[in-house]
Amino acid sequence: MAPGVNILAAMVPKIKEAVGKKLSKFSMRSGTSMSCPHVSGAAAFVKSVRRRWTSSMIKSALMTTAKTYDNRRKVLTNSSSHIANPHEAGSGEMNPIKALNPGLVFETTTQDYLQFLCYYGYSQKDIRSVASNTKFKCPEHSNKELISNINYPSISISKLRRNQSKVIQRTVTNVGPSNSAYIAKVQSPKGLVVKVIPDKIVFTKGLKRAPFEVSFFGNKEAASGYNYGSITWFDDRRSVRVVFTVNLD
């Protein structure tokens, strides 16, 4: 749920750690697993304020409002001091305060997760055995490529053939002002053509959810392998950033 590398976390010190030294009030641990308590605390904080939000709404808020720079205002780097890509830094560094007012969220429902199992290859019978909905039906022609269409706050395409396009679907829910408008801005590497349709979404009092599509096309100038970028929805006050990874064949 919350990957990370070399994440620092405080813990109650053990006596043996203080031999020959003044006893500290806390000890420190570092590792991938330490990301879990950090995110759990941030999610609990958001839930304490936004009590009606589901877990997927909270996850979306934390991901799409994350920072892409460190406390020195410099871009996030990996352990080799190179600029970190989304496979290394995820959506970025959490900002729980900003996550309280993300503007838009991506709601991932139980139906989405059940369909994920269909796309991944599990049988409808097996899925029904673990789901409360015994009448659940898998979509026809399920395959792993459809996993990219699950309404998640990031986009990942496992394989895109050069000079072919792929369209991804998403739906956003407005949790900000009832009357607001968002414009999409794309940041993509050279050769990877990314278009958002529509590139402007207008919410009114009676409209809370809006779908949009993202088309990806890799031309001859695009690099082979994983290409990274982002789509950011802006209004006058908020920005909702969705990172994407596209594996170009």
Q: Mind listing the pLDDT tens digit for each residue in 111-147?
A: 999 999 999 999 999 999 988 878 899 998 999 999 9
Q: Can you tell me the distance from the alpha carbon of 85 to that of 173, in angstroms, rounded to the nearest whole number? A: 27
Q: Report yes or no on whether pTM surpasses 0.85.
A: yes
The pLDDT, as a whole number, for residue 133 is 78
The sign of the CA dihedral 36, 38, 39, 40 is: positive
The pLDDT, as a whole number, for residue 20 is 62
Q: Quote the DSSP letter at residue 249.
A: -
CA distances from 175 to 52, 64, 82, 107, 201 (A): 11, 13, 36, 11, 14
Mark residue 158 as left, alpha or beta (left: phi above 0; alpha: psi -120 to 50; beta: remaining).
Answer: alpha
Q: Which residues of the chain have pLDDT under 50?
A: none
Smallest CA-to-CA distance from 98 within 154, 42, 168 is with 42
Smallest CA-to-CA distance from 101 within 147, 58, 137, 69 is with 58
Smallest CA-to-CA distance from 46 within 97, 103, 118, 112 is with 97
Q: Are 151 and 107 in contact (CB under 8 A)?
A: yes
CA distances from 39 to 4, 10, 42 (A): 11, 14, 5
Domain 7-108+151-248 fold is: Immunoglobulin-like (2.60.40)
Max intra-chain CA distance, the chain = 67
The pLDDT, as a whole number, for residue 180 is 94
The pLDDT, as a whole number, for residue 15 is 63
Numbers of helices and strands, H then E, in the chain: 6, 11
Q: Quote the DSSP letter at residue 193.
A: E
pLDDT tens track for 156-166:
999 999 999 99
Task: Give the residue carrying structure tokens 């994350």.
Answer: 66
Q: Can you tell me the distance from the alpha carbon of 233 to that of 100, in angstroms, rounded to the nearest whole number? A: 17
The pLDDT, as a whole number, for residue 52 is 96
Can you give the C-alpha Rg of the chain in angstroms? 21
CB burial readout 85-119, b (16+ within 10 A) else e? bbebbbbbebebebbbebbbbbbbeeeeebbbbbb
